[in-house]
Structure 1
Amino acid sequence: MEANNSGNEVAGALTYPDRDDENVETVPIQPRQPINLQGLLRFAMEATKREDAPGTSGFRRMDEERRAFLEEALNSMSVDVPKLLKDAVKILSDPEKINSIQMDQDPPDDVAAAFFNIQEFICDIDVANDFHKIGGFSIFPVCLSSQNATVRIEAVSILAEMCQNNPYGQARALDANLMQVVVQLANTEEGNFLVTCLYAISCMCRGYGPACDELFANGGGPLLSELVRNSNIRVRTKAAFLVSFLAINHRSAKEIFLENNVIGNIAESLNRGIDCSTSCTLHALHALLQGPKLPPQVNDPTIKLKNVLVKLQNTKEIEYAEYSDERKVLKNIMKILKDVPTIEDADDEEADR
């Protein structure tokens, strides 16, 4: 018995039309994925072929004039990275050109373009290594000694990118004595320029012990200990991050920091109240408090660390959702300092009498 489906569909059910081979539309074969600019052009032409008006024919042989035009256009879209880097290095390693840029002057267009072109490609680790091999480090003695702050900081930014997660770059920076130069700059720069110096120091140090040794040999301990209380919030954040990292990962860092009043400076920073630098600052303090014995500074009556932490713990802002990390770290610190008393102010003692 043959079922009659035409008038007995269940309401709401999916129905399918009867198969009619004459009405089946063949799915077009997709063009192969391109691997270069020429392939991309062909891919686009093949992929849109089915959208052409009916009756259009396939590819016609391209005349020589049009072929030459397209080849020139495609070649102009390609970038010769080694040549671009060499040209940039030639500009930035020219002492006469760089020294002619006055202190408050914007760098000339060719200098600005040279910095931009290097930074555009140096984030690739292979390009970064090639940058050194073509003599790219010759820009640093010239640019880092420039009287123009923008030139100095652009060069420091390139150094940071060169070293980030790149042991080869870190080693070459150390060979060129660039840690000493950047630490010296960090002692004189301010604001966002100083932030860039700290970023470069971080990139040179992370994961590379010899650079950490070089940092402390060139005064990095006193520098970072002081900068954790800097008036610039980004400087405080970067400095506190480095203190935390080094205290955990470098054998002598903690002792050096403690000798340079880092806990007193951290207390001063935290006493400002909670802000975007507080998380890194608390993590730095937590790292410094690790070990079998607490540093004597936690009981220093001139620092009043416990008082500062209690004050921070009692602020209403610490309960905000965005400060969950700060609450967690502060709670752990208070556990470590559970036997450390708060210190009464002289005014409070006088009032009690």
Structure 2
Amino acid sequence: MSDQPDGNERRPPRNLQGLLNFCTEITAREDPTTATATRVLDPERRAFLEQALNSLTVNVAKKLAESVQTLCSEAVTMPGEDVTEQENAIEAIEEHVDDINHAIDLQKMGGFPVLVRCLDSPHISLRVGAASLIGDVCQNNPACQEHMLTLNTVPMLLHMIDTDEDMQARVKALYALSCLVRDYSKGEEEFIKANGFSCLMRVMQSGVEKLVVKASFLLSSLVRESEAHRALLVSMGYIEQLVTILGSEDSNPSTREHCTAALLTLASSHPPALAECLRPELGFAHLLNNRLQEVTGKEEMQEEEGYIRELLKLMEGDADDDEGTFR
């Protein structure tokens, strides 16, 4: 959870008027004898600031356009080439696309196909950088998600996740995929068409911590969205896979939290999933009770503790109905 700003802490200016107000206050501090009502910028200083801000906006767009042009170089697709300029171009774009308006500007100037082209580059640094940027521009940005989806990006990212020789490239590809499809129905549809859940299953079985964390987070998000997803996951054996991950000593707290959340969503909304959780050979209740002892009272694990208690309550209720006892 992000820290909430203190009530007395001033937010940084985010637009022209905000900056002008900020500068007005600074001017007033420089001349404390000036009455509050007359603490305004003189016309000449205001005009200067407006011109400077307009120039800054143009420069951002120009820098993005120049960076896109640099990434169009043939060096992107040729092994053995020096791609320092292209790496710098990706860094330059990265500085600005956290602003949703600049992300949309990048799309309008043709930057998205250029980034997708870099996903297939023989240069690891460009694949990593492009995947990271795709995630950045798509996160919580439906307009950019929609445009990126038209470029057949989902299958490319799934292929990277499965086959890329570089682990960081695989991690960034999974980050990009998550940002592209989460909370976006068309993205989820493309994910299903491209057999995305099979890819996630392979990731969950990989044992690579960074991949498993991101995969469990994406899975937890997706299972909340659709009953069809839940039925598919149960048929694919995801319940057993998730329980196996929870039973592994190598699983980190973040992975455990997301996997437990996914299991709770499945078990609470899809009866066949709950039935799978109750299979005696999984020993899931025993595993949950042991984990509960480890996390109880630890503030940083409150969410996982809550998920575990809800799961146990569900399982106990179902077992009582069937057998009159719960072990």
The residue that corresponds to 2:120 in the other structure is: 145
Instruction: Judge conservation of contact 2:115–2:130 (CA < 8 Å) in 1.
Output: yes
Tell me which amino acid in the other structure corresponds to 1:254.
R
The residue that corresponds to 1:285 in the other structure is: 263
- Paired residue secondary structure (1:197): helix
Instruction: Judge conservation of contact 1:264–1:305 (CA < 8 Å) in 2.
Output: no
Structure-1 separation of matches of 2:87 and 2:114: 14
- Aligned pairs for 1:113-262 (under 5 A) are 113-189=88-164, 191-262=167-238
The residue that corresponds to 1:311 in the other structure is: 290
Instruction: Judge conservation of contact 2:154–2:177 (CA < 8 Å) in 1.
Output: yes
Q: Greater share of helix residues, 1 or 2?
A: 2
2:301 is equivalent to residue 323 of structure 1 = yes
Instruction: Judge conservation of contact 1:198–1:238 (CA < 8 Å) in 2.
Output: yes
Structure 1 residues 201, 330: closer, same or farther in 2, change over 3 A? same
Instruction: Judge conservation of contact 2:278–2:315 (CA < 8 Å) in 1.
Output: no
Unaligned residue ranges in structure 1 (runs of 5+): 1-33, 52-69, 342-353
- Paired residue secondary structure (2:95): helix
Tell me which amino acid in the other structure corresponds to 2:60.
V
Instruction: Judge conservation of contact 2:234–2:272 (CA < 8 Å) in 1.
Output: no
Instruction: Judge conservation of contact 1:234–1:277 (CA < 8 Å) in 2.
Output: no
Tell me which amino acid in the other structure corresponds to 1:138.
P
Structure-2 separation of matches of 1:332 and 1:181: 38
2:71 is equivalent to residue 92 of structure 1 = yes
Structure 1 residues 223, 119: closer, same or farther in 2, change over 3 A? same
2:316 is equivalent to residue 333 of structure 1 = no
Please report the RMSD computed on the Cα atoms of aligned residues, expressed in angstroms.
3.4
The residue that corresponds to 1:57 in the other structure is: none
The residue that corresponds to 2:12 in the other structure is: none
Structure-2 separation of matches of 1:227 and 1:331: 27
Instruction: Judge conservation of contact 1:89–1:138 (CA < 8 Å) in 2.
Output: no
Tell me which amino acid in the other structure corresponds to 1:238.
K
- Paired residue secondary structure (1:171): helix
* Higher gyration radius (CA): 1
- Aligned pairs for 1:47-86 (under 5 A) are 48=30, 78=56, 80-86=59-65
- Give the CA deviation at 1:292: 5.6
- Give the CA deviation at 1:300: 4.1
Structure-1 separation of matches of 2:21 and 2:288: 63
2:254 is equivalent to residue 276 of structure 1 = yes
Structure-2 separation of matches of 1:312 and 1:39: 53
Identity of aligned residues (%): 22
Unaligned residue ranges in structure 2 (runs of 5+): 1-15, 34-47, 321-327
- C-alpha offsets along residues 171-196 of structure 1, whole Å, 9 cap, x if unaligned? 11111111111111111246443332
- Paired residue secondary structure (1:277): helix
- Give the CA deviation at 1:198: 2.1
Tell me which amino acid in the other structure corresponds to 2:286.
N
Tell me which amino acid in the other structure corresponds to 2:61.
P
- C-alpha offsets along residues 216-258 of structure 1, whole Å, 9 cap, x if unaligned? 1112111223333542333222211211211111342112222
**Normalising by the residue count of structure 2, what TM-score does the alignment of the two structures yield?**
0.75
Tell me which amino acid in the other structure corresponds to 2:63.
L
Paired residue total: 285
Structure-2 separation of matches of 1:258 and 1:41: 59
* Farther off after superposition, 34-43 or 292-301: 34-43
Tell me which amino acid in the other structure corresponds to 2:207.
S
- Paired residue secondary structure (2:254): coil
Structure 1 residues 177, 43: closer, same or farther in 2, change over 3 A? same
- C-alpha offsets along residues 63-119 of structure 1, whole Å, 9 cap, x if unaligned? xxxxxxx99xx69x846122111111111122x2112354xx9841x2122001111
Structure 1 residues 129, 99: closer, same or farther in 2, change over 3 A? same
Instruction: Judge conservation of contact 1:306–1:340 (CA < 8 Å) in 2.
Output: no
